[in-house]
């Protein structure tokens, strides 16, 4: 009785399902809204993409390494508990980093609450947070009755803003546009981008009546300056003195930067780049602490079920993970949208995402203590991931599927990183975003009950192509959003673009895998998709969005996916199908029909299986 109670399979699967539900709930409370929080802090699209790409790449490298080390030293439960506690604290570190603009949180909240229609129109290249505020800069024209002293101050301001000094960089980071003081009405610019100095100098010259800014200093001004500065300063214009002063300041800054290293370089950066590097470090540390969790829990559950010969129950916890993510993203969106602009005096309401993440992660700690774990005590000579890589690289169809997983991950990262930005541009707030993400997850859960039927009807290739086309159509639809709720109908296609396409890739894993290597091959595909594809896709998508617009980004992604689906069909038809025979599955299926004494029948069964395998390879 004690032995049967010790290996309670139902209890083990139930505990694993509860843990995955809580962990997915906690992750969904924050991660989908993370890029939106970066936008609120004042980061641009390219900066946000670099941060998210780094997050994906850190997980790609550290997840398999930490999982292998946890098994090698038999410290899985310790790694799980440590990862939960440390990731909980590391996530809250982001709240300690102040935004580059202290007014950004209030302006963002006012925009979402008013659901203003004064959003950036399609094609607007600026993705800085400032473009979302309903207020617009007013034009202050320069009248011809302005005194010379006023023009002198304007010219001096224009020159000072051209100098490469730390103070000028700080003013530029606060979106103080010199053209606003010169009476020019311009479109909102991208934060961190500027026109060439020659072009901006020409704009300043035209604004001052076609006269060079330095020429605005009259002879009377020079004589007045000479009286103040004395004979030694005679003949020297203020602009030249400012240039020499700026050069000395630059040289001193370089010497100080070289002496202090990285911390010294942060001091001479503008506020926005300081914010970028601080957030990048915090997110990288956070991902390094959270990455070991998923693989370690998954390995412990599978080895436990494998020890008691119940591996057929493995995988049922994934539905609970999807369900927890759906509830988490929807409840977090509802919670934040129901709050006032600030929690207390100065805390923006977006901090509620972090608090919800921390509470849900803390609730998963008691369950993690009782998670099923089993260690055989045998140390493998090499990690399974390396052997899985060898299997994938030795099969042409597997290599093609790995490329498909990479393309899928790059496109999915584009959707995950910037969909909420696009919805925000159309007046959506957190409730719209949470409901949209929940609809996609629930559609994926609903279609999973028809997995076998879909694969039988469409086949592996047809299912993969259908999922790719659905994702392309989704991206194209995202570029034409017209209202806050317009995204909801298209989210139903996520059942195919995020669910069905992975069914085809998992079926391909079963074809090429040796007995006991199915999970490892599936992990290779998911690492290529989420880690490598997600990381590189994030880098590329951010710079495209920064250079052009979100609409152009989604249309380019849709075109790329459609071209890939055509190429996938052509290449797949030219590769011979070589299906590896999984003898352990056939033995498990026929144990009830074959006895130990029926050697002739067993030999006939083996010959028949070999003939079927040769026929499959020929076709």
In three-state form (DSSP H/G/I as H, E/B as E, the rest C), the secondary structure along 290-336 is HHHHHHHHHHHHHHHHHHCCCHHHCCCHHHHHHHHHHHHHHHHHHHH
Specify the long-range contacts of residues 571-580, CB closer than 8 Å, at least 24 apart.
571/400, 572/397, 572/400, 572/461, 575/396, 575/397, 575/400, 576/396, 576/617, 577/397, 577/616, 577/617, 577/619, 578/395, 578/397, 578/617, 579/511, 579/613, 579/616, 579/617, 580/511, 580/512, 580/513, 580/514
Neighbours of 153 (CB within 10 A): 13
How far does Cα 157 stand from its chain's mean position? 40
Cα–Cα–Cα angle for 446, 450, 455, nearest 5°? 135
Q: What share of the chain is helix, strand, coil (3-state, %, to 5)?
A: 75, 0, 25
Q: Is the pLDDT of residue 151 over 80?
A: no
Residue 459 confidence (pLDDT) above 80: yes
SS3 91: helix
- The percentage of the chain sitting over the pLDDT mark of 70, rounded to a whole number, equals 63
pLDDT (0 to 100) of residue 313? 86
Distance from C-alpha of 216 to C-alpha of 158, rounded to nearest angstrom? 12
CA distances (Å), origin 178, targets 154, 161, 185, 583, 608: 9, 7, 11, 74, 82
The token pair at 377 is: 């005590």
Question: In angstroms, rounded to a whole number, what is the distance separating the alpha carbons of residues 125 and 189?
Answer: 8
For residue 539, pLDDT over 90 is answered with yes
CB 279 within 8 A of CB 97: yes
Q: pLDDT (tens digit, 9 = 90+) per residue, 550-570?
A: 999 999 999 999 999 999 999
The per-residue pLDDT of the chain, averaged, comes to 76
Mean pLDDT of the region 310-317 = 86
Averaged pLDDT, 155-179? 42
**Chain Cα centroid distance, residue 162:** 35
Count other C-beta atoms under 10 Å from residue 118's C-beta. 13
User: Residue 157: pLDDT above 50?
Assistant: no
The per-residue pLDDT for range 97-133, each reduced to its tens digit, is: 988 776 655 665 665 555 544 444 444 434 333 334 3
Highest mean pLDDT among 77-91, 344-358, 603-617: 77-91
CA–CA separation, 29 and 357 (whole Å): 6
CB 140 within 8 A of CB 75: no
Confidence at residue 506, expressed as pLDDT on a 0 to 100 scale: 87
82 versus 137: the higher-pLDDT residue is: 82
Which has the higher per-residue pLDDT, 249 or 561? 561
Which pLDDT band, with edges at 50, 70 and 90, does 253 fall under? low
Q: What is the mean pLDDT of residues 64-81?
A: 92
pLDDT given at position 95: 92
The reply to whether the predicted model has a pTM over 0.85 is: no
404 has pLDDT over 90: yes
**Closest by Cα among 544, 430, 549 to 120:** 549
For residue 191, report the phi and psi dihedrals to the nearest 5 degrees.
-70, 130
Between CA 321 and CA 325 the distance in angstroms is: 6
Q: Give strand pairing partners of 347.
A: 343
Model pLDDT, residue 244 = 64
In this structure, of 103-107, 231-235, 377-381, 480-484, the range with the lowest mean pLDDT score is 231-235
**What is the SS3 assignment for 348?**
strand
pLDDT for the residue numbered 266: 60
Most confident range (mean pLDDT) of 100-104, 170-174, 328-332 is: 328-332
- 229 pLDDT higher than 50: no
The string of DSSP codes covering 353-419 is: HHHHHHHHHHHHHHHHHT-------PPPSS-HHHHHHHHHHT-HHHHHHHHHHHHHHHHHHHHHHHH
Above 60 in pLDDT, residue 579? no
Residue 237 has pLDDT above 80, yes or no: no
How many Cβ atoms sit within 10 Å of the Cβ of residue 40? 21
The tens digit of pLDDT for each residue in 265-302 reads 666 678 889 999 999 999 999 999 999 999 999 999 99
In this structure, of 8-17, 296-305, 604-613, the range with the lowest mean pLDDT score is 604-613
Which structure tokens are listed for 379?
A: 């140390």
What pLDDT, on the 0 to 100 scale, is given for residue 293? Answer: 94
pLDDT of 466 higher than 70: yes
């Amino acid at each position: 009785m004690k032995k049967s109670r010790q290996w309670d399979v139902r209890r083990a699967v139930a505990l694993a399902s509860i843990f995955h539900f809580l962990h997915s709930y906690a992750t969904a409370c924050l991660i989908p809204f993370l890029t939106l929080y970066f936008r609120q802090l004042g980061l641009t699209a390219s900066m946000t993409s670099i941060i998210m790409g780094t997050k994906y790449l850190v997980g790609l490298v550290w997840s398999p390494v930490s999982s292998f080390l946890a098994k090698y030293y038999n410290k899985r439960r310790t790694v799980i508990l440590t990862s939960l506690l440390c990731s909980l604290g590391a996530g809250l570190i982001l709240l300690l980093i102040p935004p580059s603009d202290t007014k950004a949180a209030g302006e963002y909240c006012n925009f979402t609450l008013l659901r203003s229609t004064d959003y950036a129109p399609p094609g607007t290249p600026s993705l800085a947070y400032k473009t979302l505020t309903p207020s617009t800069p007013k034009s202050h024209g320069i009248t011809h009755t302005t005194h010379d002293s006023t023009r002198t101050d304007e010219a001096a301001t224009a020159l000072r803003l051209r100098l490469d000094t730390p103070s000028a960089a700080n003013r530029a980071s606060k979106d103080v546009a010199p053209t606003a003081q010169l009476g020019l009405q311009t479109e909102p610019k991208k934060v961190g981008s500027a026109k060439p100095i020659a072009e901006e100098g020409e704009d300043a010259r035209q604004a001052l009546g076609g006269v060079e800014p330095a020429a605005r200093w009259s002879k009377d001004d020079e004589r007045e300056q000479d009286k103040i500065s004395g004979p030694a300063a005679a003949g020297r214009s203020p602009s030249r003195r400012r240039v020499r002063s700026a050069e000395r300041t630059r040289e001193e800054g370089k010497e100080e930067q070289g002496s202090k290293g990285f911390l010294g370089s942060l001091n001479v950066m503008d506020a926005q780049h300081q914010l970028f590097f601080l957030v990048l470090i915090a997110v990288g540390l956070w991902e390094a602490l959270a990455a070991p969790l998923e693989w370690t829990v998954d390995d412990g559950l599978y080895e436990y079920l494998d020890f008691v010969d119940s591996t057929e129950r493995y995988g049922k916890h994934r539905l609970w993970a999807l369900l927890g993510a759906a509830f988490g993203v929807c409840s977090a969106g509802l919670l934040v949208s129901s709050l006032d602009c600030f929690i207390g005096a100065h805390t923006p309401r977006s901090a509620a995402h972090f608090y919800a993440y921390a509470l849900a992660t803390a609730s998963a700690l008691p369950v993690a203590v009782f998670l099923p774990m089993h260690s055989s005590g045998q140390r493998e000579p090499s990690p399974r991931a390396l052997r899985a890589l060898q299997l994938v690289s030795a099969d042409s169809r597997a290599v093609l599927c790995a490329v498909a997983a990479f393309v899928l991950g790059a496109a999915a990262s584009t959707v995950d990183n910037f969909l909420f930005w696009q919805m925000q541009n159309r007046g959506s707030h957190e409730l719209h975003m949470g409901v949209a993400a929940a609809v996609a997850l629930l559609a994926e859960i609903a279609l999973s009950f028809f997995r076998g039927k879909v694969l039988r009807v469409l086949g592996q290739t047809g299912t993969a192509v259908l999922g790719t086309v659905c994702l392309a159509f989704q991206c194209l639809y995202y570029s034409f959003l017209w209202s806050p709720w317009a995204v909801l109908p298209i989210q139903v296609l996520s059942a195919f673009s995020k669910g069905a396409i992975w069914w085809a890739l998992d079926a391909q894993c079963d074809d090429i895998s040796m007995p006991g290597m199915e999970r490892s091959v599936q992990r290779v595909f998911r690492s290529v998709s989420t880690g490598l594809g997600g990381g590189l896709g994030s880098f590329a998508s951010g710079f495209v969005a920064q250079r052009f617009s979100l609409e152009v980004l989604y249309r380019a992604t849709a075109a790329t996916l459609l071209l890939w689906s055509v190429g996938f069909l052509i290449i797949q038809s030219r590769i011979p199908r070589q299906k590896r025979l999984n003898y352990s599955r056939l033995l498990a299926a026929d144990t009830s029909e074959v006895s130990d004494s029926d050697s002739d029948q067993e030999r006939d069964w083996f010959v028949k299986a070999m003939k079927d395998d040769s026929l499959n390879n020929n076709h």
